[in-house]
Amino acid sequence: MNPILEVRDLHVHFDTVDGTVHAVNGVSLDLFAGETLGVVGESGSGKSVSMMSLLRLIPQPPGRIVSGSARFRPASGDLDLLSLGKREMAAIRGNRIGFIFQDPMSSLNPLLTIGDQIRESIEQHTSKRDAQARRRAIQLLDQVGIPDPEARYRNYPHQFSGGMRQRVMIAIAIACDPDIVIADEPTTALDVTVQAQIVDLMNRLSADLGIAVIWISHDLGVVAGIAHHLLVMYGGTVVEYGAVDQLYAHPRHPYTIGLLGALPKLHVNEDELVNISGTPPSLFSPPQQCPFEPRCPWAFETCLNSQPPLFDISPDTGSRHASACWYDLDRDKPRASGQPVAEWDKEDATL
Ligand SMILES: Nc1ncnc2c1ncn2[C@@H]1O[C@H](COP(=O)(O)OP(=O)(O)OP(=O)(O)O)[C@@H](O)[C@H]1O
Ligand SMILES: [Mg+2]
């Protein structure tokens, strides 16, 4: 099965007065139809910049997509998102690929009714007009769990709670039956109960509608409940990738191990939370070593001299697992040269 989205070696820089910020340094990923890929990592690790670059939503300048490819395979074709023209991109964005951001208030127009905003999006991307577009908008409000959708259609954003506004954003994101939805911290601004409701809603919609979801979060607890695969980012690179169960049971990158150790546990005092000591790498110079080396308990000489590629450490079960670490934690020794580097372009790739 071919992935619906195949990103290879994405590099994104920002030119600032202080120098060039190397925000994304060789991100690759595969997203399969209908699956949810969780993207986790601490603040500044490049989650938003890499995913927003795919939709060309980063400010350019100062942002610059330096290199890479992003092969998107909807039913209607096969194209590289990074080399599309502006108009071609506009036809994909919000149509074949929907997106949801953390703060629905900044994405919604306060002066337009909720219904008109959904209808506008439908009219922009489909042949539906007027009454037909209105009917579709009301159907969408119903689908995302807004009670009394006909009356709510006429409300303004300020008349909705945060959770309801996020439901509206989801309605807009799925309005054109997209292949992919990119959700950037969609529940971070919501309280815990509402978070759980939004997670449930997204789970149900992606399963019912067969939408592939990229779910960005810094909260491992949230993505555990929604993702099939996880991509762990650090310093603008992918440090670990794998099926959620495998990755939680058997994390193999020291950073992921740290992150999992840092998960709040029930019945544990807040003060006892494990934190990864040290600070994230500076992104002003291109990484010539492992970005996690200064904070890594297993670091050795090789880690200082070169950036590790993603090694294929898939278990025999056929699920994919990869770690960008020079140290082989399974054997408790440095990785042998010649160990396979993750090469996911194989025909027999499975989920
Ligand atoms: N407009 C910009 N100008 C300069 N640097 C930027 C700009 N936008 C992002 N960056 C830098 O790119 C890096 C990656 O940022 P990004 O927003 O992708 O992080 P993130 O993983 O999404 O973090 P968070 O969890 O806080 O959302 C950061 O170092 C950030 O400072
Ligand atoms: Mg972000």
Question: Does the C-beta of 60 come closer than 6 Å to ligand 1?
Answer: no
Q: Which ligand is located closest to the Cα atom of residue 47?
A: 1
Q: Pairing between strand 180-184 and 212-216?
A: parallel
Are 46 and 107 contained in the same domain? no
Return the ligand number nearest the Cα of 45: 1
Q: How far is the CA of 296 from the centre of ligand 1 (A)?
A: 23
Residues 216 and 347 in one domain: yes
Assigned token pair, 224: 């555990």
Residue 59 CB less than 6 A away from ligand 1: yes
What is the distance in A from the centroid of ligand 2 to the CA of 42?
9
Residue of minimum CA distance from atom 30 in ligand 1: 44
Kindly give the distance from the C-alpha atom of residue 182 to the centroid of ligand 2, in angstroms, as a whole number.
12
Whole-number Å distance between alpha carbons of 16 and 26:
20
Q: Are residues 223 and 281 in the same domain?
A: yes
Average pLDDT, the chain: 89
**Same domain, residue pair 112 and 236:** no
Q: How confident is the model at residue 165 (pLDDT cuts 50, 70, 90)?
A: very high
Instruction: Say how far apart CA 81 and CA 179 lie, in whole Å.
Output: 14
Q: Answer yes or no: do 258 and 317 share one domain.
A: yes
- Nearest atom in ligand 1 to the alpha carbon of residue 185 is 27
pTM: 0.91
Q: Answer yes or no: do 171 and 205 share one domain.
A: no
Query: Looking at the 3D structure of the chain, how many domains does it have?
Result: 2
- Closest ligand 1 atom to residue 218 Cα is 25
Distance between Cα 259 and ligand 1 center (Å): 19
Does residue 151 sit in the same domain as residue 185? no
Identify whether residues 161 and 30 lie together within a single domain.
no
pLDDT of residue 275: 61
**Which domain-ending residue is among 121, 141, 175?**
175
Query: 268 and 151, same structural domain?
Result: no
Q: Report pLDDT digits (tens) over 254-310.
A: 999 988 886 555 444 444 444 677 778 888 877 789 999 998 989 999 999 999 999
Structure-block tokens of residue 186? 């969609």
Say what the pLDDT of residue 344 is. 64
> Helices (H) and strands (E) in the chain — how many of each?
12, 14
Could you tell me the CATH number of the domain that includes residue 223?
Answer: 3.40.50.300
Ligand 1 binding pocket includes 283 (Cβ within 6 Å)? yes
Give the residue numbers spanning the domain of 122. Answer: 103-175
Cβ of residue 16 lying under 6 Å from some atom of ligand 1? yes
Task: Give the atom of ligand 1 at the shortest distance from the alpha carbon of 49.
Answer: 18
Residues 108 and 126 in one domain: yes
- Spatial separation of the C-alpha atoms in residues 167 and 205, rounded to whole Å: 11
pLDDT 10s digits, 191-200: 888 888 999 9
Residues 168 and 212 in one domain: no
Same domain, yes or no, for 208 and 262?
A: yes
